Amino acid sequence: MSERTADRLQPIGVEEAATRIVRELHDLANPRKAESAQRFFTEPIQALGIDAPTSRSFAQRWIRQLKPTWHQRQALALCGLLLQQPPMETRAAGFLILSGFLDAPSQDMWRQAESWLIQYLDNWALVDGFASTVLSPLLRCHPESTPKLLCWTESKCMWVRRAAVVTLVPFARHGEHLDVAYGFVETLLREKEDLMHKALGWLLREAGKANPARLKRFLLQHRGAIPRTTVRYAVERFPEADRKRLLEQTRPESRPTRRSGINRG
């Protein structure tokens, strides 16, 4: 082993890694892009202005550096530290790096993940990224954990509810856990939050890729009860004629008012 290789394999502590990652990300910051990022969110955000490909490449470089000497527990600790940082990209780096250490994740991670969602993941981009890179692989390793996600759909925290839905998206796309996916949507039909309506529509759209006929039946079965945003998202990949027909067929029943008799959709 060369001296340079030996130096590269020297273990680095969790706090030191976190400090270096924060510093390096700030060096990559683009203030102009950071300012323009706000338009995608209704809530105030703090951003560094680093695009997604650069963030993923940055995380992969750190995974390669840490993997030879770290175990999952160090990656979890690092993620916990980075999630406490205000910039979105720094928090994202935490779970992107953690995703490289999920070869055999413990079921105990569900409890930690729920805590992080409540405390640190406070917008749709972070929640969706966390769900796709950490929670979906966790469910892949522990498919018996779907009841845990069902419990999440009843959480008071919208981000926990959204994470439960988005975690199923890659499975629904390939026709897996479809009964669970449709069950989640039924459970959340009374959901009031627009961001949840969009997530439900996304899940249904992906489920429809695997079984279009089942999606049509579901939409017609629950006509009038499904939020319109959810329906629009769900049918957007159908042929135009089918899409228009389903939008019309699932419209809430019009009822005349007592005063004017005007129908309201």
Q: Which of 48, 72, 101 is the last residue of a domain?
A: 101
Residue 122 counted as domain residue = no
Residue 248 counted as domain residue = yes
**95 and 174 housed in the same domain:** no
pLDDT digits (tens, 9 = 90+) for 133-173: 999 999 999 999 999 999 999 999 999 999 999 999 999 99
- Residue span of the structural domain in which 230 resides: 168-252
Using CA atoms, how far apart are residues 263 and 89, in angstroms rounded to an integer?
48
Residue 144 counted as domain residue = no
**97 and 175 housed in the same domain:** no
**90 and 173 housed in the same domain:** no
CATH label of the domain that carries residue 58: 1.25.10.90
pLDDT digits (tens, 9 = 90+) for 233-258: 999 999 999 999 999 999 887 333 33
Q: 31: which residues sit within 8 A by CB, 6+ positions away?
A: 49
User: Mean pLDDT across the chain, nearest whole number?
Assistant: 91
**96 and 177 housed in the same domain:** no
Percent of the chain at pLDDT > 70 equals 92
pTM: 0.89
Q: Does the pLDDT value for residue 64 go beyond 80? A: yes
Name the β-bridge partners of 255. 264
Using pLDDT thresholds of 50, 70 and 90, give the confidence band for residue 111: very high
Q: Which of 101, 136, 155 is the last residue of a domain?
A: 101
What one-letter code names the amino acid at 131?
A: A
Using pLDDT thresholds of 50, 70 and 90, give the confidence band for residue 262: very low
Using pLDDT thresholds of 50, 70 and 90, give the confidence band for residue 259: very low
Q: 213: which residues sit within 8 A by CB, 6+ positions away?
A: none
Number of domains present in the structure of the chain: 2
**175 and 89 housed in the same domain:** no
**6 and 91 housed in the same domain:** yes
Residue 264 counted as domain residue = no
Residue 154 counted as domain residue = no
Q: Does the pLDDT value for residue 79 go beyond 50? A: yes
The pLDDT of residue 5: 46
Residue 257 counted as domain residue = no
